[in-house]
Copies of this chain bind each other. A is one copy, B any other.
């Protein structure tokens, strides 16, 4: 029988780094966690008049960290998202003065005045599966498909580091990829005893690249199954769905995020399929897909993906995804 742990954090329980915190709870591999996450504004932006730089002290709180019993460096943590449901019937987005891909930033520094800070409020209709955009300078509205995801999922980094939850890197973190949906399994290499995973930054949906720097931010109800693959290491975050294997790179410039993700997918494909390395490179070159997660965070992210149908008979991580998928279905 599956053990289901419920954890309902208060605002002061949330943290802003991966690493540097004591665990809020222990969880056993095979268990399921039911919890919630705040939005990237800590819930402080509720109307179009709530400018984030005025009403927020910090950004991107996460729920955690959770200590996974038995996790050691060299293992792989598997998190399978059974359910992601927006906790509110609204979501917020914004432009920031020095954040986003089409503005100068603190590192892509220019002498121009920054973009206007502006807030948009979306309606979220969970039953209709719709996120409704409202223009600010006209009456236009557009209905977009609801597509809930978590922007920030990761473990404590290696080397004693503590990294801001704004940052994605090899430990995961602010990956900001729309591929982290319900029904997927994400894998992380474990760097510290207990893995110390945390989750947050729910999006009702986001475009690929998150070009303005902010998705449709919303609090999220999360049901996630936790598993551990002992003695198997994972260099960069990977995602498995029913159809696809994906590797994620996080770096600047963006071509390095691409290189990391493709390199990891090629070597992973070679490992799983028995194809020689350049043969795997060739296959991924013709069969693979790729897209940006974010092109706005301190590291950009891209994923590389291949259809499992092109790799018949291949089983990743000892079948963890299928096992967790079945577990998730059994709980519905």
Contact = CB atoms under 8 A, between A and B. Distances in A.
A23 to B, nearest CB: 16
Contact of A284 (B110, B207, B262): B207
A211 B206 CA distance: 26
Given A115-B112, A256-B108, A281 B209 contact: no
Interface of A: 16-17, 19-20, 58, 93, 95, 101-104, 106-116, 118, 120, 122, 131, 133, 135-138, 140, 142, 144, 159-164, 205-216, 249, 251-256, 258-260, 262-264, 266, 273-279, 281-292, 295, 300, 302, 304, 310-311
Given A110-B102, A111-B115, A277-B111, A258 B254 contact: yes
A105 to B, nearest CB: 9
Given A103-B110, A111-B103, A135-B279, A162 B19 contact: yes
In the complex, the count of this chain's copies comes to 4
A255 B228 CA distance: 35
A108 B105 CA distance: 12
Nearest to A288: B207
8 contacts: A104-B112, A133-B286, A136-B279, A138-B276, A206-B285, A208-B289, A209-B290, A254-B254
B281 A102 contact: yes
A133 B224 CA distance: 38
B263 A109 contact: yes
B93 A102 contact: no
Contact of A107 (B111, B210, B259, B285): B259
Given A133-B283, A164-B159, A288 B108 contact: no
A291 B254 CA distance: 12
Contacts of A304: 209, 211
Contact of A102 (B263, B289, B291, B310): B263
A278 B135 CA distance: 9
